Amino acid sequence: MTTILLAEDEESIRDLCSTILTKEGYNVISFSSGNEAIENLNGSDFDLLLTDLRMPGIDGLSLYRILKETHEDMATVVFTGHGTINTILEALKLGIEGFIMKPFTATELLSTIESAIKKNRLLRENIRLKVLLPLLEINEKLLAELDIKDMFDRTASIIAKETRAERVSFMLVQGDRMNTVFAMGIPDEYAGIKRRVGEGIAGWVANTGRSLLLNGSHNIDFIDAEMKKNNIASGISVPLKIKDNVIGVLNISRVRDTVPFNYSDLELLSIIAGQLAVSMENLRLYTALGQSYFKTVEALATAIETKDVYTRGHSARVAHYASIIAIEMGLSKQEVEDIKIAGLLHDVGKIGIAENILLKRGELSEEEYTAMKNHPNYATKILEPVGFSKTVLSAVRHHHEWFNGTGYPDGLKGRAIPIEARILCIADTIEAMTSDRPYRDMQDMNDVIQELKRGSGRQFDPDVAAEVIRLYESGHLLSVNISTHEIAPKLS
């Protein structure tokens, strides 16, 4: 049953409307003024507001604004016997669906209410359709985003596109204060603004956890003053929430007094704010998981090297060389981090190799060499259940593949070998040749360069080999700082 909230100060009209509407099957809650409706509604739900524009105390438009904050989906029809064109234009701007001129007939009342309910239903459906496509886009982008600044930038771009906002900003709550952490289209004097929770429009939103649609005069001093100060013609502020905890505020505004924001824009922004808050929390948890993940990686790498004093620190050095090469070859941050993880873990499968083979000073027998070639298979079995990314797993498995297809374990050839594995192969060679081994003394980098030249196109990817030679000759191979490229690892 459709419930109608009726606010009308003329008793005869109020009783007439209640009788007509009740007879037609509507549930009517009636009040003699806007003040009485606000004081006695007590959280009651309703579908349509039917109100007189002119009433003592809270008038019809003010009542509409107040109730819309808690009943965003309500339809609205207004009575007027003294309406001016300006009043009607203001009501239309606010989104009111129907008008009834006094005096009216029962037919006019019922048809206007029915039309308003249908119009409101269509509006809600259009809002849902409008929300769907940008949400699909923003979900896809936020799920792939691992940098908080990029996350804000992507979200702001989508919001500006969908709402035609001229300004977009994000403020984060830190204790009892709020800091602007991202701003688009905001003059320099307003960017980077800080304020207390509860102060100003955004502070009110953060303190109450409620959204604000800012259009025209609100008869609330701090809102009107701030809109005037910041030259806001129309705006929306919505909270960023994790459960019931407000972590920030999303603000949009227009400075030109053209088409104001409406409840469709507010609903879209509220849903985007919810998605953004979830993505921010996921990123926080993901970062914490990444720190734990790195500790696991380091523990595994240490476990490998406790078996062989000659290879202590080998994995960390391979990871460092591989990261430098990957950075210089233009790989993404995530690819660089995957290569670093793979470098740390590339020999984890040697846990399954007998110590007499690992520590043997002479050449390995054919049987021993066959056993040694199993360590990439062992590594895959060890790492797969942990949840390492496919990139890390394939780099570890294939770092002994040769470019000409004669390597192991799968005999991959050329660019069928993952680029991460091709880089790791050369990084492993550099570290192995420049370190002491049971079967030989360490060599210098000149020997390594000659080996890369001899093996280019045979054991090594010629492009990677050429890049390493260039890096060494320019002095960058041993000096590049990779710390700025470190990000959280990506689990599969």
Top-confidence residue, 328 or 384: 328
- What's the average model confidence in pLDDT over 101-113? 91
CB under 8 Å to 396, separation ≥6 — which residues?
Answer: 342, 345, 346, 348, 349, 376, 379, 380, 383, 424
**Average pLDDT, whole number, for the chain?**
82
| Contact yes or no for 402/393 (Cβ under 8 A) | no
Distance in angstroms (rounded) separating the CA atoms of residues 201 and 232: 12
Backbone angles phi, psi at 91, to 5 degrees: -65, -40
- What's the average model confidence in pLDDT over 248-258? 86
- What's the average model confidence in pLDDT over 454-469? 95
| Band (488; pLDDT cuts 50, 70, 90) | very low
Highest mean pLDDT among 49-58, 117-126, 349-358: 49-58
- What's the average model confidence in pLDDT over 166-173? 92
Coil, strand or helix at 215: strand
370-390 per-position pLDDT tens digit: 888 999 998 888 888 777 789
267-298 per-position pLDDT tens digit: 888 888 888 888 788 777 766 666 666 666 66
| Contact yes or no for 428/420 (Cβ under 8 A) | no
Top-confidence residue, 317 or 481: 317
Distance in angstroms (rounded) separating the CA atoms of residues 108 and 101: 9
How much is the pTM? 0.46
Which pLDDT belongs to residue 485? 35
- DSSP letter for each residue of 322-369: HHHHHHHTT--HHHHHHHHHHHHHTTGGGGGS-HHHHT-SSPPPHHHH
Coil, strand or helix at 73: coil
Percent of the chain with pLDDT over 70: 81
Which pLDDT belongs to residue 486? 38
| Contact yes or no for 305/297 (Cβ under 8 A) | no
- What's the average model confidence in pLDDT over 432-437? 75
Percent of the chain with pLDDT over 90: 35
Question: Is residue 444 over pLDDT 50?
Answer: yes
Question: Is residue 479 over pLDDT 50?
Answer: no
182-225 per-position pLDDT tens digit: 888 887 666 667 788 998 899 999 999 999 998 866 667 788 88
- What's the average model confidence in pLDDT over 466-489? 61
Coil, strand or helix at 259: coil
Distance in angstroms (rounded) separating the CA atoms of residues 255 and 167: 8
CB under 8 Å to 465, separation ≥6 — which residues?
Answer: 426, 452, 453, 455, 456
Lowest mean pLDDT among 132-136, 221-225, 391-395, 481-485: 481-485
| Residues, the chain | 492
- What's the average model confidence in pLDDT over 304-315? 65
Instruction: State whether CATH 3.30.360.10 applies to domain 306-485.
Output: no
| Contact yes or no for 314/435 (Cβ under 8 A) | yes
Instruction: State whether CATH 3.40.50.2300 applies to domain 3-124.
Output: yes
| Band (482; pLDDT cuts 50, 70, 90) | very low
Top-confidence residue, 122 or 46: 46
Lowest mean pLDDT among 263-272, 391-400, 449-458: 263-272
Any idea where the domains of the chain sit in the sequence? 3-124, 145-283, 306-485
CATH of region 145-283, choose from 2.40.50.140, 3.30.450.40, 3.10.129.10, 3.20.20.70: 3.30.450.40
Coil, strand or helix at 480: coil
Q: Inter-axis angle of helices 445-455 and 462-474, to 10 degrees?
A: 160
Which helix (H) or strand (E) is 49 found in, with range? Answer: strand 48-52
CB under 8 Å to 457, separation ≥6 — which residues?
Answer: 403, 404
24-78 per-position pLDDT tens digit: 999 999 999 999 998 888 777 899 999 998 888 898 888 998 888 778 778 999 9
Question: Is residue 145 over pLDDT 80?
Answer: no
Distance in angstroms (rounded) separating the CA atoms of residues 373 and 369: 6
Distance in angstroms (rounded) separating the CA atoms of residues 185 and 192: 13
- What's the average model confidence in pLDDT over 330-336? 91
Q: Residue 440: beta bridge partners?
A: 437
- What's the average model confidence in pLDDT over 126-144? 56
